[in-house]
Amino acid sequence: MNDTQAPAAGHAPDRLIRHGTPLFRRANLALFAAGIATFGLLYCVQPLMPQFSKDYGVDAATSALSLSLTTGVLAFAMLFAGAVSDAYGRKSVMTVSLLSSALLVLLTALVPGWTGLLVLRTLLGLTLSGLPAVAMTWLSEEMHADSIGLGMGLYISGNAIGGMGGRLVTGVLADFFDWRVGVLVVGAIGLASALMFWRLLPPSHHFERQPLRPRALLGRFAGVFRDAGLPWMFVEGFLLLGAFVTVYNYIGYRLLAPPYNLSQAVVGLIFSVYLIGTFSSAWMGHLAGRLGRRRVLWTTFALMLAGVGMTMLRPLALVIGGVVAVTFGFFGGHSIVSSWVGRRAGSAKAQASSLYLFAYYMGSSLAGAGGGLFYTAHGWNGVALFIGAMALAGLLIAWRLYHLQPLPGPPSPGTEPPLP
């Protein structure tokens, strides 16, 4: 599970992974499996929230804690996950993270009582933290500049499959058997994916081990905030996942109730629109690499805003179409911003990735839980207006990033010359 310590990236450009090579396919298959495991384990409880409300006698906002506690702890823990991987190796940290997380989800299916479930879901946020930020760092270190957009997009496609699969499995099995059966199946898939990741991911060739030095770590974190663009990208991450998770947290409540009265299994099948994300993330990431991230990012927020508006209409087809539009925009936006963070961060890639994902998952935790208050007070229309406000804020920030001056030095894919 150990990484190979090798010279820095600038000293071995010939060993950077490029698309179209067997090593690129192997690396992306490994990270695709990791994405399936991570997001299946994380989001498998989302379609079960109405069931938790029924079984444990809790309201929508309290039921949402089954996800919000996980993502809140995950956000804070990822601030340190990059530093741990600096000291102990990228692949080692990611493998331990995946294996321990799969075991916790298996235990979640067996624990009795609401409190026990929340405790295990909280611990899951801690163990999962070793994968997302470190995976972004690994890609930024090991992929060639002309391949990182596609590589990040393919990794996020795995996230989409995992997020869809985890929700779909638990949503459907909860209707035919019991929600615990669904969670057990998701945990088993996560365990198999973790073992696949361990076997396939190539060792690092551009990783330089750095001991854990708290003062130096704080200095690297502080340096990230001196960049003119990175803090705004962190806010974009908060808004992207905050809006997206809030849609999926509460759309089930609406569709199970009149006038739709859909079954739990049918609501679970709606999560299959996540397949849109597997295309959106790779396609938008590649498009941004050719046309420039600043020229493409705003379209993803505009699409999310339009999709939220569609969910406020009565026809079921339009509601589902709105969820599809939000899903497409979210995965495209996340692919663009996450790769942009890695390219702009320079030598502080691990810290910038950690801060981006801290903001990203805090969006899930805070907005995902806060949406329940809007749902309780104003129903779905209240939730939709809350989500729309986040998408509009993201659109305005994307316009600001459009005018961001590129970093000095030779241009790289996705970087345009300074605007007049």
Which pLDDT tens digit goes with each residue over 98-117?
Answer: 999 999 999 999 998 999 99
Please give the average per-residue pLDDT across 21-41, as a whole number: 86
Return the C-alpha torsion angle 34, 36, 41, 46, nearest 10: 150
Q: Tell me how far apart the alpha carbons of residues 186 and 196 are, in angstroms, rounded to a whole number.
A: 15
Mean predicted confidence (pLDDT) in 22-36:
86
Q: Residue 104: exposed, middle, or buried by beta-carbon count in 10 A (0-12, 13-18, 19+)?
A: buried
Cβ atoms of residues 26 and 200 within 8 Å = yes
Which of 32-36, 202-206, 306-310 shows the lowest per-residue confidence on average (mean pLDDT)?
202-206
> What is the average per-residue pLDDT within 387-400?
96
* Cβ density class 155-184: b for 16+ within 10 Å, e for less: bbbbbbbbbbbbbbbbbbbbbeeebbebbb
pLDDT at 7 over 50: no
In the block, tokens 């805090």 appear at 362
- Give the lowest-confidence range in 78-92, 313-327, 351-365: 78-92
> Quick one: pLDDT at residue 120?
97
Look at residue 420 in the predicted model and tell me its pLDDT. 23
pTM > 0.85: no
pLDDT of residue 91: 85
Arithmetic mean of pLDDT over the chain: 84
Q: Report cis status (omega within 30 of 0) of the bond before 22.
A: no
Q: Which residue type sits at 194? A: A
pLDDT in the model for residue 130:
85
Q: CA separation (Å) from 172 to 166, 180, 183, 194, 268?
A: 10, 12, 11, 24, 6
Tokens of 64: 């949402």
pLDDT at 97: 93
CB-based contact 331:304 (threshold 8 Å):
no
* 235 or 139: which leads in pLDDT: 235
The reported pLDDT for the residue numbered 416 is 33
- Distance in angstroms (rounded) separating the CA atoms of residues 235 and 101: 27
> Is pLDDT of 49 > 70?
yes
How much is the pLDDT for 300? 96
Q: What is the pLDDT of residue 216?
A: 67
Q: How far apart are CA 100 and CA 155, in angstroms?
A: 21
Nearest alpha-carbon partner for 147 in 20, 330, 332:
20
- Residue-level pLDDT at 226: 86
pLDDT at 319 (0 to 100): 95
| Residue 405 per-residue DSSP state | P
Lowest-pLDDT range of 5-19, 188-202, 206-220? 5-19
Phi and psi dihedrals of 132, rounded to 5? -60, -50
If pLDDT is split at 50, 70 and 90, which confidence band does 180 have? Answer: very high
Contact call for residues 285 and 336 (beta carbons, < 8 A): yes
Which of 394, 52, 64, 46 minimizes the C-alpha distance to 248?
A: 46
- Dist. CA 364–CA 68, nearest whole Å: 7
17, β-bridge pairs? 143
Token reading at 91: 């692949």
Q: What percent of the chain has pLDDT over 70?
A: 90
SS3 state at 143:
strand
Name residue 178's amino acid.
Answer: D
Whether the pLDDT of residue 174 is over 70: the answer is: yes
Place of tokens 């390219």: 343
Q: Are 109 and 184 in contact (CB under 8 A)?
A: yes
User: Cα separation of 240 and 129, whole Å?
Assistant: 19
For residues 112 and 133, what is the distance between their CA atoms, to the nearest angstrom?
32
Non-local CB neighbours of 258 within 8 Å, separated by 6+ positions: none
Six-digit token string for 200: 């396939």
- What single letter denotes the amino acid at residue 308? V
Binning pLDDT at 50, 70 and 90, where does residue 272 land?
confident
Q: What would you measure as the largest C-alpha separation in the chain, in angstroms?
A: 63
pLDDT tens digits, one per residue of 326-352 = 999 998 999 899 888 877 877 777 778
Segment 144-157 mean pLDDT: 74
Region 375-400: mean pLDDT is 95
pLDDT grade for 384, boundaries at 50, 70 and 90 = very high
Q: Is the confidence at residue 168, as pLDDT, over 50?
A: yes
What does each C-alpha distance from 37 to 32, 131, 137, 328 come to in angstroms? 9, 10, 18, 21
Looking up tokens 């907005």 gives 367
Q: What is the pLDDT of residue 419?
A: 25
How is residue 294 written in tokens? Answer: 């600043």
Instruction: State in Å, rounded, how far the first CA of the chain is from the last one.
Output: 49
Checking if the pLDDT of 289 tops 90, the result is no
Find the mean pLDDT for residues 142-154: 74
Q: How far is CA 276 from the centre of its chain?
A: 15
pLDDT tens-digit map of 212-265: 667 666 777 777 888 889 999 999 999 999 999 999 889 988 998 899 999 878
- Listed in sequence order, the residues at least 6 apart from 154 whose beta carbon sits closer than 8 Å to its beta carbon are 28, 31, 32, 281, 282
Q: Is the pLDDT of residue 10 over 50?
A: no
As a whole number of angstroms, the distance between CA 399 and CA 313 comes to 28
Buried b (16+ CB within 10 A) or exposed e, 52-61: bbeeeebebb
